[in-house]
Chain A
Amino acid sequence: MMAFLKLLARNRLALAGLIVIGAVVFLALITPLLPLADPDVTDTPNRFLPPFSEGALLGTDHLGRDLLSRLLWGTRLSLAMGLAAAVIAATIGSAIGIIAGYYGGRTDNLIMRGVDMLMAFPYILLALAIVAALGPGLMNALIAVAAVNVPFFARNIRGITVGIAHKEFVDAARLAGMRDREIILSEVLPNVLPVIVIAMSTTVGWMILETAGLSFLGLGSQPPQADLGSMLGEARSALITNPHTSIVPGAMILVIVMGINLLGDGVRDALDPRLKSGALSRPMPATTVERTGPVPAANTDSLLDIATLRTEFRVRDRLYKAVGGVDLHVEKGECLGIIGESGSGKSVTALSVMGLVASPPGVITGGAVHFDGDDIIGAPYEVLRSLRGRRVAYIFQDPLATLHPLYKVGDQLIEAIQSHESVSKHDARARAIDLLRSVRIPNVDSRIDSYPYEMSGGMRQRVGIAMALANDPDVIIADEPTTALDVTVQAQILSVLSDLRRERGLAIIFITHDFGVVGQLCDRVAVMYAGQIVEEGPTEAVLHSPQHPYTSRLIDCVPTLGGGQRKLAAIPGLPPVVDRLPAGCAFAERCDKAQDTCRVSGIELFATGAARKTRCLFPEIEQERRA
């Protein structure tokens, strides 16, 4: 509760709303105590006095009544009406909702059908019908507004109750022999009460507006008694000659409703956990770049060269160093595997290349990515855009989520082509068909007009690959493209990729956590752990003689088919959280060879042979020689 209030107070607008509403309510409460003129005493000689007149601060209305006094009494009445309507609607609506939700079955069905019927009316029609039947008047308007809002509460509270009615403690109460009415009152009601109160607080402003509206139409409070709505309604005939009589009550309604809205928004925000975590931020077109320090030169003159890349996530006051200085490169026609557990930073590394890391919260804070000789970190948006998909293409995991659900796959392919080339839709479609054939999709002519949800996972991933190939890129970055697929489909996808690479001379960066896949496809492999590369080298060499303890443990985790009953060696412990990395080797805590020296300071990536590198003080093979 305190945390909630603090959060509310932090929202300055909500606080302003609270203050405004507090002040209005306070004024309404003390109105009878104030030395005001009688609001209903007419004084026609002094009609339409302007504001700031002697004895009438806000002037007088068409019957010479003091506007200030009428405003305060009217506010009092409007607030009371709105609140009363809210309480009545909440009570009746919640009762209906709880009964429907608790009993379920036919009772629920019948009640909710009725509620749906009521909701089929534009709200004012129902209110007008009720007032028409009962006759205009304050109480009847109140009944009408309350009745119109009953369905809202019934529906919301029913939803909550259905969730609670099947909880263990309700079952327990039933087993204990409690009667339904007792269970509802003692077990269900206390749990839905907060929801009722919140729903009420968000609708009270609305009800004030509605009752004022009915009074404005002359169907609510009857003269001489006035609420804000009927004051405005009566002033309307003098709108042009004496606008102040309209502005005074109208502005008051505006202030009240605005205050309630501000407060309501604040409450809603304070209750929404996603806002606290910043998860509602939208990612920008390209990742934010805030490079401090000098931009490193390329390590190699490869097609794609990543040099000491650093990418962080800034979530509130936490800093997650997802990528902590990664060096990688890939040659033309080469396949580089990046392997590691979830959260090791391999995907973030790959997404950083084309500025696709969600930002906020992602920020690239250092390093360089040289593509074809030029550093593209922090390049202007249009430069990045023209590279994306045309020179460097991506294939993502889970194509059901990564393909647009509402466009046909053919149109998505055509769009990929037309984003970089001005070709006619007809030609682009012909090329899309060729692309789908090249990834061995059967019945292309009908498949091209399918929606993603109509395809199997394997077919969708082929579409994903076809899309990546659309503009004949130089590099394809495949981010766990086979993870969501079953093994046979996985093998097919890999063979498609492998063939394409041979035919087109593609460079592939293949991200996976599966050594089997790496062995099948990749020339070189880099192993990532806690945002850093811990070992790199030719695939064969790394797989057969891993040098970093982490790599060898990782390989030991892989069960071998037909390898007999072997103990699978899971790695004890968990990878470190990247907002609290240890000073020394990040793997030290889980490593059974770790010495004190490992924990002192960061460890370099040593060259440990031809094309091999290891970030370990005690690499497995050459241990003796170094010692």
Chain B
Amino acid sequence: MTGYIIKRLLSAIPVLLGISVIVFLIMAMIPGDPATAILGSYATPENVEKLNRDLGLDQGLVPRYFIWLGNMLQGDFGRSFALNRPVLDEVLDRFGATLILAGTSFVLCSLLGIAAGVISAARQYGVADKAITFVVLLGISIPSFFLGMMMILIFAVQLKWFPVSGMWPIYGDRSLWVLMDHLTMPAIALAVVATGVIARLARSAMLEVLRQDFIRTARAKGVHERRVIWRHALRAAMVSIIPILGIQAGFVLSGAVYIEIVFQWPGVGRMLVDAILKRDILLVQGGVVFIAACYVMFNIMVDVAQALLDPRIKT
């Protein structure tokens, strides 16, 4: 298993390099002078000159890439001109909030989605199946940002169950309880779409598995139906569900951008949108590379989980 993990980690290196190349090339598409774009039109010529030199913008595309890559590997993602602080510091500060939001949502959508899918498959064409199918259809059709707004309207403004927005109250203590209070609505709003997608795929994976011969064997052994469904069938179905969880993690991370805006959540997504609107190019660039790298690492974890689950995968 250790060998497998090392192999997967090594295979991530070209992917990470590829990601950096893609981000670099996209940023190279910036029309006009990048230093002016970064510093804004009121920058002094001296500053523009200096930034051009620092970033190697006066050189060709290839040396520029390697300067940028070398800096990043040393932990220097550049400096945000709008916030006047190192990009990495800002990203790391914001990343924790995103991780809490997206992580909670991911756990939520995995558990609920799989449970709904399994129940739906076990009661195929029954009332529960039809109800779940309908809710799922609604869930995957509603844009998360609209859902978030409606939740604020109903549960925060009308019913006053949860705070309208933010991660922490402006004044007051920062306990776990307070965090949960603020986290509930955005985490649910973010989880809904992914829950629906996972539920659908889990349902069809389960239906596929339930027709297999080893399910009949389990029943012939006298294994209780509950166990047949939740152990035998689900275990086998997980082999096709886990890769979907990996993909959905990417969608949850993406959806976090909208949810962070709607709920004023101080995460990287909101930071990126603000940075784009302020033309804070280096912050966008650094943030994108950082999150993409985290996502690649997450997918390696998914692969490892898959290998742990399925002994047939050569380790």
**Which A residues fall within an 8 A CB radius of B?**
113-114, 116-118, 120-126, 128-136, 209, 212-213, 216-219, 232, 236, 239-240, 243, 246-247, 250, 253-254, 257-258, 261-262, 265, 279-283, 285, 354, 356, 358, 381, 385-390, 393-394, 396, 398, 401-407, 415-416, 419-420, 451, 453, 467, 470-471
Contacting residues, chain B, for A285 (C-beta < 8 A): 219, 225, 228
Question: In the complex, A403→B312 CA distance in Å?
Answer: 14
Tell me the smallest distance from the CB of B309 to a CB of chain A, in Å: 7
A385's closest neighbor in chain B, by CB? B222
**A253 contacts B292, C-beta separation under 8 Å:** no
Kindly identify which residue among A133, A253, A258 contacts B146, using a CB–CB cutoff of 8 Å. Answer: A253
Instruction: Kindly state whether residue B71 has any CB partner on chain A within 8 Å.
Output: no
**B143 contacts A254, C-beta separation under 8 Å:** yes
Most buried by B among A120, A213, A385: A120
Kindly identify which residue among A116, A213, A258, A407 contacts B141, using a CB–CB cutoff of 8 Å. Answer: A258
A393's closest neighbor in chain B, by CB? B220
Q: In chain B between 31 and 63, which residues have their CB closer than 8 angstroms to a CB of chain A?
A: 31
Question: In the complex, A154→B30 CA distance in Å?
Answer: 26
Contacting residues, chain A, for B295 (C-beta < 8 A): 120-122
Majority-rule SS of B interface residues: helix
**A389 contacts B221, C-beta separation under 8 Å:** yes
A355's closest neighbor in chain B, by CB? B219
Kindly identify which residue among A118, A130, A261 contacts B140, using a CB–CB cutoff of 8 Å. Answer: A261
Question: In the complex, A257→B26 CA distance in Å?
Answer: 30
**A134 contacts B143, C-beta separation under 8 Å:** no
Tell me the smallest distance from the CB of A519 to a CB of chain B, in Å: 27
Please, could you name 17 A-B residue pairs with CB atoms under 8 Å apart, sorted by A?
Answer: A120-B295, A125-B254, A131-B276, A132-B284, A232-B149, A239-B152, A240-B152, A240-B157, A262-B137, A280-B204, A281-B124, A390-B222, A393-B221, A403-B217, A404-B218, A415-B221, A416-B221
Instruction: Kindly state whether residue B112 has any CB partner on chain A within 8 Å.
Output: no
Contacting residues, chain B, for A121 (C-beta < 8 A): 19, 22, 250, 288, 292, 295
Question: In the complex, A393→B216 CA distance in Å?
Answer: 12
In the complex with contacts A213-B145, A381-B225, A132-B281 CB distance below 8 A:
yes
Question: In the complex, A40→B216 CA distance in Å?
Answer: 65
Tell me the smallest distance from the CB of A371 to a CB of chain B, in Å: 14
Contacting residues, chain A, for B142 (C-beta < 8 A): 254, 257
Instruction: Kindly state whether residue B176 has any CB partner on chain A within 8 Å.
Output: no
B29's closest neighbor in chain A, by CB? A133
**A388 contacts B291, C-beta separation under 8 Å:** no
**A280 contacts B214, C-beta separation under 8 Å:** no
Contacting residues, chain B, for A124 (C-beta < 8 A): 253-255, 257, 269
In the complex with contacts A128-B273, A254-B141, A416-B221, A451-B296 CB distance below 8 A:
no
A147's closest neighbor in chain B, by CB? B26
Contacting residues, chain B, for A396 (C-beta < 8 A): 213, 216-217, 220
**B311 contacts A122, C-beta separation under 8 Å:** no
List 4 additional contacts besides A124-B255, A389-B220, A393-B220; criterion CB under 8 Å: A132-B284, A236-B149, A258-B141, A394-B217
Tell me the smallest distance from the CB of A282 to a CB of chain B, in Å: 4
Instruction: Kindly state whether residue B232 has any CB partner on chain A within 8 Å.
Output: yes
**A404 contacts B30, C-beta separation under 8 Å:** no
Contacting residues, chain A, for B216 (C-beta < 8 A): 283, 356, 358, 396, 402
Most buried by B among A125, A257, A356: A125
Instruction: Kindly state whether residue B15 has any CB partner on chain A within 8 Å.
Output: yes
Tell me the smallest distance from the CB of A543 to a CB of chain B, in Å: 30
**A283 contacts B292, C-beta separation under 8 Å:** no
Q: In chain B between 140 and 194, which residues have their CB closer than 8 angstroms to a CB of chain A?
A: 140-143, 145-146, 149-150, 152-153, 157, 164
